[in-house]
Amino acid sequence: MPEPGHLDGRPVTGAELQALAMTNYGHFTTFRVEGGRVRGLALHLDRLVRDCRATFGVPLDPDRVRELVRRAAPADRACTIRVTVFDPDLDLGHPARARSPRVLVTRRPAGTAPLPPMTAGTVAHVRDSPQIKSTGLFGALRRRREAQLLGYDDALFTDGAGFVSEGATWNVCFSDGAHVVWPDAPCLPGVTMRLLRRPSHRVAPVSPADLATMRAAFATNAAIGVREIGRIDDVVFAGDRRVLDELRAAYHDIEPDAL
């Protein structure tokens, strides 16, 4: 379970967390820390700075965020850190007055990898402001719940034009046997996706009908790295071990940044 966390470096209070729960207005990023080092740390910090401007209209000091994370990360074991930026004084009736965001750092044990292949069901859903990693997860978690009630592990979204876009909390890519294919659709530009994408990869629209032409599918995010998807809807993928190994090796070989 996640620990209560620290707000601006001191233990967060229940009243402050209540404000986040009641308004659910803010943004965050999540990453795995191992030995005080993080893959793509600069990209995570850039995301927080960019999203703070978009969400609150004010700058965020990335060096301060880095210091707060450094204090929270254990030196002797791996963990998953979430950095949430929100304003505990936000008034539900006057969100434009929320211009003093604060930094909440929470941590939980890191998951073990690699995970077994997952299954996903497609569903039409476009997140509000998909380019922002917002705390507003109701829509995504509702779709995940619905997919799980149908027997899938997770939900894979399609956009307004019917093309595959992203998973509930992950990006997706495919192997068509010749190339790695990333969907061309509105989605959160995940840090892991950005670290893995190569010039030799293709970015193209992928429809649910195109899934039957793919050899393999993969989910990517900072918590899981690269996870194989064994089935989407009724399409069972043959698998592409070469591409899976290449993606996992590429992720493993990324030099982590020191906090």
Please state, in angstroms and rounded to a whole number, the distance separating the CA atoms of residues 164 and 160: 10
The amino acid at 116: P
Percentage above 90 pLDDT, the chain: 90
Q: Architecture of domain 6-109 in CATH?
A: 2-Layer Sandwich (3.30)
**Global pTM value:** 0.93
Domain 118-257 coded CATH 3.20.10.10: yes
CB-CB contact of 128 with 204 (8 Å): no
Domain extents in the chain: 6-109, 118-257
Token readout for 95 is: 């969100």
- 81-104, pLDDT tens digit by residue? 999 999 999 989 999 988 999 999
- 113-164, pLDDT tens digit by residue? 678 999 999 999 999 999 999 999 999 999 999 999 999 999 999 999 999 9
Residue with tokens 């599918």: 217
* Helix/strand/coil (H/E/C) assignment for every residue in the chain: CCCCCEECCEECCHHHHHHHHHHCCCEEEEEEEECCEECCHHHHHHHHHHHHHHHHCCCCCHHHHHHHHHHHCCCCCCEEEEEEEECCCCCCCCHHHCCCCEEEEEEEECCCCCCCCEEEEEEECCCCCCCCCECCCHHHHHHHHHHHHCCCCEEEEECCCCCEEEECCCEEEEECCCCEEEECCCCCCCHHHHHHCCCCCEEECCCHHHHHHCCEEEEEECCCEEEEEEEECCEECCCCHHHHHHHHHHHHCCCCEEC
Dihedral of CA 74/40/30/148: which sign? Answer: negative
CB-CB contact of 110 with 39 (8 Å): no
- Segment 216-223 shows an average pLDDT of 96
- Mean pLDDT score of the chain, rounded to an integer? 95
Name which of 229, 18, 8, 15 is nearest 122 in CA terms: 229
Considering just the CA atoms, what is the radius of gyration of the chain in Å?
19
Please state, in angstroms and rounded to a whole number, the distance separating the CA atoms of residues 69 and 44: 12
Dihedral of CA 204/208/211/216: which sign? Answer: positive
**Range from 56-65, 111-120, 163-172, 194-203 carrying the lowest mean pLDDT:** 111-120
Please state, in angstroms and rounded to a whole number, the distance separating the CA atoms of residues 135 and 249: 31
Please state, in angstroms and rounded to a whole number, the distance separating the CA atoms of residues 259 and 257: 6
- 228-243, pLDDT tens digit by residue? 999 999 999 999 999 9
pLDDT(4) > 80: no
